[in-house]
Structure 1
Amino acid sequence: VCSAVVLRLLADGITPGVHTPGDDALDALDLLHHATALGVRVQEFTGVARATSW
């Protein structure tokens, strides 16, 4: 995911400074589309994180 963000920033350009993947200056949906195009599996999470096996 981090490499997808970096590649997208390099392709689109962005103002100088420090940016994080959740930054308002970035289009989150575009980043998700780019990450999935690179093979990252994205799954929506809503709720409380729990261990899947004990």
Structure 2
Amino acid sequence: MQTLITGLLSIGVAGLFLGWMAYQVGEWPLVVVVLIGIAGMLADVIQNLRRPDNNV
């Protein structure tokens, strides 16, 4: 569980950093792509949490 929380935090921090960099450059499409990528990663994590037989 600790690694899961750490992973989510690192994804969030990386997303915020990439989003801020894209905002500074003015690349709004890149911001949207980053947000969609983060949402996809979170969806994968949530799906893995819902599968009790997938505990590695």
The two structures have a TM-score, normalised by structure 1, of 0.32
- Higher RCO (CA < 8 A, seq sep 6+): 1
Q: Which has the higher helix share?
A: 2
Scaled by the length of structure 2, what TM-score is found? 0.31
